[in-house]
Structure 1
């Protein structure tokens, strides 16, 4: 028997997690106890609930890695909230989890928007017989979680949330508060250096109290203290204290950790400055996380503060020097330097580096709402729109560059981007497209949703539709979503020709999945738009697609009728190859109705067309089909097909 994998060998798709990690022994033990519980008819589920900034994601990652050896098939991860806080559909999360397992089955295109996404069922099937831990971060509602739960006892689903999850029975969540005071002081020592803490233990205790021992607030203040060696711990505590309501609950203190005597609470120290120069902080309305963020934010140089605000426009809150430099309009090296400084201040989270080594960062969800407010207050709408337009055009250039590197038959050379931004090899291009796919799709959704940059958004959609299939990872659901976005723009701009093309592509995707009623609906809608635009080739394609749906649904009478309409239109357009194809399809529909005379006539007409085109091999193959039809007629004693 093979030895079980070590923790290092387990497939690990989790984020890095906060470092250093301090305290939480009680909570880790509670998670272990909850993970041991089972509910009949459902696999193991653990819910970790806590306020933003309580460190719930970091704790979940820490626990998951501590039990990795018990889940040798891997540690999977999916975020269940979009940057604006809206819930991510469970089907989209299921697809990403299947990709992490390298277990994406063909298709998975939803047939009915009201029904469960087939990706959820595929995920439950893929989890069967495996020992996996699935971390679902920032779950907003129980309806997101239910379709992803499995009955497999070897799997553990660990969900983090900010509030109660209704609709799921037998949940006993692990509730997360602040660190105990001893752990909070230890964390400060790890973050800013033990010497500064040991030289000012009273200030450290007061700072932990002012932050209510919430890890995110402690990290923000520590980032500022690291950046300014002259700033004292005591002064930082005093600046924060007035922003914390007097009735705010105190975090429990660890045994042996007592507050030194001779000093009043931090709230009795000098008044804090404003959160922002133009906006005084209302004491009763500000929590420690907001106050700590304000303390760090107002210390930023103007360019860094502007970049931080503009990063809220980055797809999925994730950015690298390519996207950051586009958003603020600065050289890539300068953007990289600012990103690194913001991460050092704990204002950005580090994401795993890209395949080419490019550093990637994420705007923390706990800071996102406040940064959006600041952006609306301090940046003119025209500046925001320009930043979004620059980002979309940068993404278009990058996607086109990746496509040209991957498809040498396309001709042309990649658009020469500045050196730090350039994709240089096909492998690098494929890796970039795969890693950034979610961000690229999110950028398109956001741009089309806002409706003010349809031109740039349309170019990005076109670039993605050309490039994604070259990676071999173009999920039909992603392509379907892109064509839906094209349709949305076309309808908004009253462009029936483009709307017809999008509907035809949607119909083709549904037909490829065997969703014939849905495909027919798309083809019929495409026919209406094509007629409105006077686009006869699109009309012919829609007619043929509709006929194919009837044929697949076992209705040869309607299939023959629709094929006949398409044939007449192709003949009027002078398209002999399409004419030959439709003659054969019509003949097959007649054969299914046992109308052998009509079938033979259509076959002979198709043979004649192919011979006029000089395609003798295809004509010979069709002649064999005609001969088989004759034998069928002879065998059943039916009147011979006339010459």
Structure 2
């Protein structure tokens, strides 16, 4: 059945490619209805004069209220006013994990200027003084940039990213209050109005099913609390069963919500009995004529919400609040609340069709100036917990109905995509996860998008389509995966993904540097990287996902072998693309984690030395010394003299750069003794010259002269004429200084 794809928002989109960064925004649904008042409020707030710092607009609403879709819509219409580009970052993971502001700052810096160096991670990723946050604020100075920050958990993530640049604009979406930042008037999203809900259902379901049953459409919208995500899921359910009346869909959703509410409200001792009742009701529904065939394809007819094991909470539910479960919605759709959302300094919010607030921007609090951070940032609370989606929410009820009609292959793909890095996958990674050919994976992904169960992301750099599991569905899908898939199947899927990524990375290395050695056996044609340019595009476009896959695997600790091979492949390949030192730093940190977990001090020492070298190359000498000292301890425990010598020499170089000649001479001297015992004469000559330099810096000229002469003697035995010339010139310069009375 053909679906209408025309947008219905009154504001024109910015021309494609007119502003840098528009292609980074999530794709979002093709159909957009309603939200005229909210868009007007955002435009009015963006037009207010800003003083001192980047103004902040906040979109607040419960999961499934369309926050991200509206933010992207506004960003596309407002982009022409920000010619320096649009930046986008998510500040929460689908599982509710909090993204540190420093990590978001590094991502935004890369988007702002891919060629500029990104600072290495600091010791603490929270805080305004973290190097990446400082660099971002400095880079935004004098620019007009629109920053879209999706799913912000708390003000502590936001304020380190705010620049003292009024020409920039920050648009943040959140599920809860952002207390701690002044001068924020959140636009609060509730449900769609009655007209917009009807338009959305009519266009998504198609045909005349809604227009011929307006009462049923209104009942369905009310049962969904008029929330766009729930409406889309129910539309997908109706499209999958053309014979079901809209009124029946509303009744089914109300029934499921009642069962979920009863199960949530049941005392702990009766939870198992309530779950059995719900299971029997689902099985009865699966046997209904006209739906039995579809439900039976999944192998678990009518059982998308299998009863939970006693005592094990459902992800997304709120423990200890079973007695306060929400009842099925009975209020008119136009008055659906968005929940209690407040913000420090807020005086006006927009709900439904209310007129947006107008007027001048409020003055900074406490009589401070707008450019003074203390005037607009107050100490906030501890990081907020993710806002849960309770089992009795219409969103979960709609998902439960739709999931029960999925064929087995689609249901398994949907569950397994929760294992993908950042829950984002293209046909290559999806086919590896489920173990099917890439064309079949692509068809399954497209079918899930058609059923409103996956979101479309911006295409990869090589043009491959990309899809993402919506964060609002992630906890329930993880629960279903744990219930329906054996642990061995899950581990096998993760292992297949890592091995696929290893082969792709090695293939990219062979294309970018044929002299580095042969690549792996060729992949199937649909998966193959065709050229060096294609390999480079793939690596740069998938770099964050590759690093995320390694971090996920090492974090779980059960696939260190496959994860280690991927780390090795990335360390060999990413430098061929001019990878940022920050990426290599992350990889060496992961190597260190695995080495320490398995008690391999030699490998841990090597990782710490590489981390120290990266810090030293960035001029962060104190941090580098810390890494070199830790590397020395590991090397000593392993009895590895070359690693000990390298760590000693690295620490000495840091003290030399810091101007501490005394410590530099001490550490160089210890490294020299070790190299002499090893019989490494080339290193001995180099270290003798370094010790001489340190003595000269302390005005110990006699000792410096002696060490230079000893270095010349070693170089003479080695026959190193270039080395003799360099050391001889240094010695001559030293003697001139002594003769001049320095």
TM-score by length of 1: 0.90
| Aligned equivalent of 1:180, options 171, 190, 193 | 193
Q: Conserved in 2, the CA contact under 8 Å of 1:239 and 1:272? A: no
| Aligned equivalent of 2:34, options 12, 17, 23 | 23
Structure 2: distance between partners of 1:492 and 1:8:
47
Cα shift at 1:104:
6.1
| Aligned equivalent of 2:44, options 16, 33, 38 | 33
| Aligned equivalent of 1:276, options 304, 310, 318 | 304
Q: Specify the alignment match of 2:577 in structure 1.
A: 471
Q: Specify the alignment match of 1:514 in structure 2.
A: 619
Q: Specify the alignment match of 2:109 in structure 1.
A: 98
Structure 2: distance between partners of 1:112 and 1:303:
45
Q: Conserved in 2, the CA contact under 8 Å of 1:543 and 1:562? A: yes
Q: Specify the alignment match of 2:81 in structure 1.
A: 70
1:535 correspondence with 2:649: no
| Aligned equivalent of 1:292, options 369, 392, 398 | 398
Cα shift at 1:514:
1.9
Structure 2: distance between partners of 1:397 and 1:506:
26
| Aligned equivalent of 2:182, options 169, 189, 196 | 169
- SS of the residue aligned with 2:211? helix
Cα shift at 1:16:
1.6
Q: 1:129-278 alignment to 2 at 5 Å?
A: 129-244=142-257, 276=304, 278=306
Q: Specify the alignment match of 2:666 in structure 1.
A: 561
Give the superposed CA RMSD.
Answer: 2.3
Structure 2: distance between partners of 1:221 and 1:517:
58
- Structure 1 window deviating more from structure 2 (180-189 vs 404-413): it is 404-413
1:87 correspondence with 2:98: yes
Q: 1:585-596 alignment to 2 at 5 Å?
A: 585-596=690-701
| Aligned equivalent of 1:599, options 704, 707, 710 | 704
In structure 1, stretches of 5+ residues that fail to align are 249-270, 638-643
Structure 1: distance between partners of 2:557 and 2:611:
21
Q: Specify the alignment match of 2:482 in structure 1.
A: 376
1:375–1:111 Cα change, 3 Å: closer
- SS of the residue aligned with 2:208? helix
Cα shift at 1:37:
4.2
Cα shift at 1:39:
6.5
Structure 2: distance between partners of 1:194 and 1:126:
52
Q: Specify the alignment match of 2:290 in structure 1.
A: none
Q: Specify the alignment match of 1:256 in structure 2.
A: none
- Structure 1 window deviating more from structure 2 (441-450 vs 570-579): it is 570-579
Q: Which runs of 4+ in 1 moved over 6 A?
A: 280-283
1:488 correspondence with 2:593: yes
1:283–1:630 Cα change, 3 Å: closer
Cα shift at 1:581:
1.6
Structure 1: distance between partners of 2:326 and 2:657:
68
In structure 2, stretches of 5+ residues that fail to align are 1-13, 262-283, 287-301, 309-313, 315-324, 328-390
Q: Conserved in 2, the CA contact under 8 Å of 1:243 and 1:283? A: no
Q: Conserved in 1, the CA contact under 8 Å of 2:64 and 2:229? A: yes
Cα shift at 1:20:
0.5
- SS of the residue aligned with 1:420? coil
Q: 1:27-66 alignment to 2 at 5 Å?
A: 27-37=38-48, 40-66=51-77
| Aligned equivalent of 2:734, options 618, 629, 641 | 629
- SS of the residue aligned with 2:209? helix
Q: Conserved in 1, the CA contact under 8 Å of 2:435 and 2:493? A: yes
Q: 1:102-113 alignment to 2 at 5 Å?
A: 102=113, 105-106=116-117, 108-113=119-124
Q: Specify the alignment match of 2:134 in structure 1.
A: 121
Structure 2: distance between partners of 1:139 and 1:199:
41
- SS of the residue aligned with 1:217? helix
Q: Conserved in 1, the CA contact under 8 Å of 2:87 and 2:147? A: yes
Q: Conserved in 2, the CA contact under 8 Å of 1:480 and 1:506? A: yes
Q: 1:329-348 alignment to 2 at 5 Å?
A: 329-348=435-454
- SS of the residue aligned with 1:213? coil
1:225-275 CA distances to partner (integer Å, 9 max, x unpaired)? Answer: 3344334333322221223469x9xxxxxxxxxxxxxxxxxxxxxx97766
- Structure 1 window deviating more from structure 2 (477-486 vs 364-373): it is 477-486
Q: Conserved in 2, the CA contact under 8 Å of 1:243 and 1:287? A: no
Q: 1:366-515 alignment to 2 at 5 Å?
A: 366-472=472-578, 474-515=579-620
Q: Which has the higher contact order (CA 8 A, sep 6+)?
A: 2
1:402-455 CA distances to partner (integer Å, 9 max, x unpaired)? Answer: 122212221213432122111121111111111111111111111111111111
Cα shift at 1:354:
2.0
1:481–1:228 Cα change, 3 Å: same
TM-score by length of 2: 0.79
- SS of the residue aligned with 1:47? strand
Q: 1:546-557 alignment to 2 at 5 Å?
A: 546-557=651-662
Cα shift at 1:630:
1.6
Q: Specify the alignment match of 1:264 in structure 2.
A: none
Q: Conserved in 1, the CA contact under 8 Å of 2:257 and 2:393? A: yes
1:83–1:189 Cα change, 3 Å: same
- SS of the residue aligned with 1:160? strand
Q: Conserved in 1, the CA contact under 8 Å of 2:648 and 2:667? A: yes
1:498-549 CA distances to partner (integer Å, 9 max, x unpaired)? Answer: 1111111111112122222221121111111101101111001011011112
1:524 correspondence with 2:629: yes
1:184-203 CA distances to partner (integer Å, 9 max, x unpaired)? Answer: 11011222225332233232
Structure 1: distance between partners of 2:148 and 2:463:
26
Residue-pair matches, total: 610
1:50-102 CA distances to partner (integer Å, 9 max, x unpaired)? Answer: 11110010011111111122112222110111132111111111111111111
Structure 1: distance between partners of 2:122 and 2:594:
22
Cα shift at 1:597:
2.2
1:307 correspondence with 2:383: no
- SS of the residue aligned with 1:9? coil
Q: Conserved in 1, the CA contact under 8 Å of 2:462 and 2:541? A: no
- SS of the residue aligned with 1:365? coil
Q: Specify the alignment match of 1:261 in structure 2.
A: none
Cα shift at 1:458:
1.5
